[in-house]
Each structure stands twice: as structure tokens, then as C-alpha cells.
Structure 1
Amino acid sequence: LSKDSNVLHFYFSEARDRLKQIREEQSRSSREVVDIWEQFLSYFSDKLGNDVWPVYEQVCIAACDCGEISLAHRCVRELNRQFPKSFRVKGLEGMVLEANQRYDTAEHLYKTILQDDPTNSVAEKRLVVIYKSQNKIKEAITELRKYLDSHMADTDSWLELSDLYLSQMDYAHAAFCLEELILANPHYHLFHQRYAEIRYTQGGTENLLEARAYFSQAIKLNPNNIRALYGLFLCASNLATKQRSAESKNMKYAAWAAEQISQLYRKLGGRGTKSSSDSTEQIKALGGMFDKLQLTSS
């Protein structure tokens, strides 16, 4: 580093502002955070003033992500000196224990925090992470359901719970989680798509009809959703073989979805770096795939 004070001040300001930007964007960028701290800011921490405490927290989390356990310990030690009774700092201690694979100790720490502060959402979520890390899926589901009883607006947790249920092939409960998400955000096409996929997986005429409706809604909200278009095609194809009275209607749905997918692939074929011959071959292959899926009644 140059000894010129103006140059040092410039680098210091750049490093400090970059860490602040990462915090504001809620982007972990863990390796970058650790490198900025170790290569520069750690030598000038006294110049950060009160900003040093959020920086210590940020660096601690990043160090846990990168497996830099000794650095994480140093950050927690400094934070404990300043905030000796902080539940937030105790939560960071738990994360360091997790990074060191001391799950039992971390679990005990989080439960102790919850005894003193039953509404501590960080401790509740970290318990879920611990159970997932040890493949204790049933315990993770129980803990996450308990958390959602008092934090029903947390969409990320509903998605997480849905994924946990899917890992156990509990499609009914996974669908319920998506229903809650759709109620909270009815205009987000991916929630409709995921709900439809679960209903399609469950099978049966009633579930296929519901899946068709939700795939259609996902397409209405986002006409470029190829996955939803393909889901509609599959639902309509299956229903055409099951419901003779509605066969022609479902065949029309399937034909429309297939045409929309083909059009999207043609549009994509004119972009990117692939040659026109490669794009033509892809479109032909797609058409062949649809031709093989005959829509015939059973």
C-alpha cells in the first residue's frame, strides 16, 4: 500500500463503501467481503467509527460461509465486548458453531435464546437450518411450521416448507403451502406454475383439471413461461385420453400450447450465438416430440 495519505483515504473509502453496498443490496458476496476485510479494512478498523459493528457482523457471516472459522471467532469476540448481552450476537455465535459442524451445541444455544426471547425469528430459522443440515427433515418441518404460526407473511419460509414437504413426497401439504403463497401474491406466475406442477404430480382427473387451470393462469400472467405452457400441454393431453366428452376441447388446449411453445422457440432461434441451422434442428426436434405425443382417447 502506498504511504500517501490521499491514496490510503481513497482505498479506505472504496472498501468501506463497497461493504456498505453489499449490505444494502442484501447480497452475501462472502468471498469478496472476506478479501476486502483481510487485505485492507482490518488494518484501519479504528477509522470506521460506529460503522465497525455492522461490518464485524457482515464479515462474521461471510467468514462462516467461506469456512474462515478463526476470523468469524475474532468478529464475534469484538461484538461480544461491545454488546455482551445481545441476542443478535448470540445468533452469530450459533452460526459460527454451525460452520464448525458443532450442531448440538448450536441447537442448545438457539433453544436457550428462544427461552429468553420466544419471538426471536433468527434463532427459529437457524434451528430449521441445523435440522436440514443433519437431514432431520421431520424436525425441520415441525420447527418451520411453528415459526410460520407467528410469521405467516414470510413467503420465503412458505416456499422452504413446500420444498421440505416435497422432499417427503407429501404433495397435499406442499400444495397447501403454495395456496398460501398464491393468496399472498396472486399475480406472481411462478406460484401458480408450482402449484399446478404439484397437482399434476398427484395425478387423477380432478387434480389434472386443477393443474390445467393453474397452468393456464400462469400463462395468462406470463405468456413466455415455457414450463407452464408445456405443463398445460401435458395436462390437456392426459385429460383428452381420460374424458371422452371433453376430448376435443382438451385437444384444442394441447394444440394451442404446442403452437405457443414452437413460436417461442422460433423467436429464441433468432437470438444468441447459435447458427440458424442449429436453431432449425431444435425446432424440428421440438415438432417431432409433439408429433409423438398422440392425443387419442382410451
Structure 2
Amino acid sequence: MSRQINWEEARDALRKIREEQIRDGARVVRLWKQVLANCAHKLGDEVWTVQEQVTVAALDCQNFDMANECITSLNRKFPNSMRVRRLFGMYFEALGRYEKATEQYEKILEEDSTNMFARKRQIAILKEKNDVLGAIESLNKYLEMFMTDFDAWMELCDLYLLFQDYNKAAFCMEELIMSNPHNHLYHQKFAEIKYTQGGSENLETARSYFAQACKLNPNNMRAQFGLLLTASNLATGHSKNQKEKNSNSKYAVWAAEQIIDKYQTTQTEEQLKDTKVLDLIKKMQENLVPQSET
């Protein structure tokens, strides 16, 4: 049997979860329910921080009764607090009562028009209601105020991709790359968008950004596959002359070699037998031998 932890250990565990920003709602709910709820007075003023933490965790776990108890307690202590309004908004969102949630967020914005949380929750509600166009419009307005919110740029990119608006999606990724040029995932996603658009110019751009993603993170297998596919396409039909085809063949062969090496070093013999990926890549390699330039 596992030992029952005491209230101090439970308190310290919740502190660590907060400090390290770990999202483990089930554990937070369990520690509160089994240990701290019956000795909350021992926490002193920290009890209010803990109850806020428990509220969010309870909503994650759809434990609405526990969430309601904590919010009610917080509201008695801090009536009309913006942070309590935020929790009420999240509570109504979780219940699907979007009008009530929006009302709470609007009250917050009346007091603080630059409140990032309230604006982002309003966008989340639009997405929940499947109003994607409304969410796109709101995100664009939001980014006029908070241009350095990388998550918002990525979210806007994904929404544009839902409508196959690749030019605007690519623009979002370009903004992210300019803000953080060392993030290999940004280069990879931008390359994938350009690859999807197709055409020789877009494929050349995609190849360049897949290559940069591989350079920034040599373990990015998705970027290596992207480089292999893009360079192969260019080598077998989209390049303008034999010199460019040979150059792209070398890119593709290099990517193939990286993929094969990683498969052979990370997969067991049985796994290698079960997969046909290596066979396909080796066949591609055979067709990528550079030819003499004329």
C-alpha cells in the first residue's frame, strides 16, 4: 500500500506543479480532495492561490462541483475580482454556456482593454461555436495589439489552412520565422505549406526551408522526409536544367541517407522487417543518380 502523504507534502507538490507549469489536473484534484480540502486553514493565505489552481484543474477534469465550490469561495473573499471573473468565464465555457462566459470576459475588458487572456478566451469561444471566420477576424485584431504572441500567429496559420488559404498561412509562418529564426519547427511548417502550394518556385522555397530545418535540428525526421520528397520532385521534373537537377539529386540522396541511418540505429531488426519505408527510400535513391551536365 502506498503511504498517505501529509498536508505539507501535498502543499509542496502543488507548489512544484505551479512553479514548473505542469498541466496535471488529475493529480491536483486528487491532492486537494484527499488531503488539503479538509485542512485548508493550515495553508494560510496560500489557500486562495491553491483554490485558483484547483479550479482550473477541476475544469480540466470536468469536475464541475469542485470547480464551483472553489470559485464560490474565491468570490466571497475577492468579490468583483478580475481573476475570479476569469475563472467564472472558464467555468461557463466548460459547461458550454458561451453567452455567460462572453459576458464575464467583456466585463474584464471593460476594466482592462489590453487583457490578453480575456481576448484569447473570446477567440476560443468562436472556435468552439465553429465560427472560424469570426475567429480569424478576431485573431487578426488581437495580433494588431499583441504582435509578439507566437502561439496566436500559429493558431491563425492553422485557421487559414482550414480554408486552404496558403498565402496567408505562409505569411503567418514568415512572421514567426522573423521573430525566432532558430526554431526548426517554424521552418518545417513554412516549407510544408510551400510544398502543398506546388509549382517549381514554391518547391524550391520549400526545399530551402526543409534544408534549414534539418540544419537547425538534425533529428527532425519530418523535415528530412520533406527535403527528400521536395528535392526528388525537383530532380525528376521541376528543375530548369541538368545542373539544378543534379544539385537537387544530391539534396535528396543526402536526406535519404540521413533517414536510412536513423531507421537503422533506432529500429529493431523485427521493426525494420515490418516497415517498407526503407525499401521505398532505397528505390528512390536508385533514381537519383546525378547525370552528366550538357
Q: TM-score, normalized by length of structure 2?
A: 0.90
Which digits, 9 at most, give the CA deviation of each residue in 1:20-65, with x for residues without a partner?
Answer: 1111111121111111111110101111111011111111111111
Identity %: 49
Return the alpha-carbon distance in structure 1 between the equivalents of residues 43 and 271 of structure 2. 56
Return the alpha-carbon distance in structure 2 between the equivalents of residues 278 and 38 of structure 1. 45
Report 1:34-183 matches (<5 A). 34-183=29-178
Q: Would you say 1:212 and 2:207 are equivalent positions?
A: yes
1:40 partner SS: helix
Q: 1:142 deviation in Å?
A: 1.7
Match of 1:291 in 2: 283
Return the alpha-carbon distance in structure 1 between the equivalents of residues 70 and 138 of structure 2. 29
CA contact (8 A) 1:189 1:218 kept: yes
1:223 partner SS: coil
CA contact (8 A) 2:213 2:223 kept: yes
The residue type paired with residue 251 of structure 1 is: S
Q: 1:285 deviation in Å?
A: 4.3
Match of 1:227 in 2: 222
CA contact (8 A) 1:98 1:130 kept: yes
Return the alpha-carbon distance in structure 1 between the equivalents of residues 246 and 274 of structure 2. 30
Q: 1:277 deviation in Å?
A: 4.4
CA contact (8 A) 1:161 1:177 kept: yes
The residue type paired with residue 286 of structure 1 is: L
Choose from 254, 269, 272 the match for 1:279.
Answer: 272
CA contact (8 A) 1:262 1:287 kept: no
Match of 2:258 in 1: 260
CA contact (8 A) 2:203 2:234 kept: yes
Return the alpha-carbon distance in structure 1 between the equivalents of residues 198 and 110 of structure 2. 44
Match of 1:243 in 2: 239
1:41 partner SS: helix
1:118 partner SS: coil
Q: 1:86 deviation in Å?
A: 1.3
Match of 1:188 in 2: 183
The residue type paired with residue 71 of structure 1 is: M
CA contact (8 A) 1:237 1:295 kept: yes
Q: 1:279 deviation in Å?
A: 2.8
Distance 1:86 1:235, change over 3 A: same
Match of 1:4 in 2: none
Match of 1:27 in 2: 22
Range with bigger deviation, 42-51 or 287-296:
287-296
CA contact (8 A) 1:218 1:228 kept: yes
Distance 1:51 1:225, change over 3 A: same
CA contact (8 A) 2:253 2:288 kept: no
Return the alpha-carbon distance in structure 2 between the equivalents of residues 182 and 122 of structure 1. 24
The residue type paired with residue 136 of structure 1 is: D
Distance 1:295 1:60, change over 3 A: same
Return the alpha-carbon distance in structure 2 between the equivalents of residues 190 and 73 of structure 1. 39
Q: 1:176 deviation in Å?
A: 1.3
2:254 partner SS: helix
Match of 2:292 in 1: none
Return the alpha-carbon distance in structure 2 between the equivalents of residues 52 and 117 of structure 1. 26
Which digits, 9 at most, give the CA deviation of each residue in 1:254-279, with x for residues without a partner?
Answer: 1221112111211213xxxx3x2443
Return the alpha-carbon distance in structure 1 between the equivalents of residues 81 and 231 of structure 2. 57
Distance 1:66 1:251, change over 3 A: same
CA contact (8 A) 1:196 1:214 kept: yes
Return the alpha-carbon distance in structure 2 between the equivalents of residues 218 and 190 of structure 1. 7
Q: Flag structure 2 segments of 5+ consecutive residues without an equivalent.
A: 290-294
Q: 1:236 deviation in Å?
A: 1.1
Q: TM-score, normalized by length of structure 1?
A: 0.89
CA contact (8 A) 1:192 1:218 kept: yes
Q: Give the number of equivalent residue pairs.
A: 284
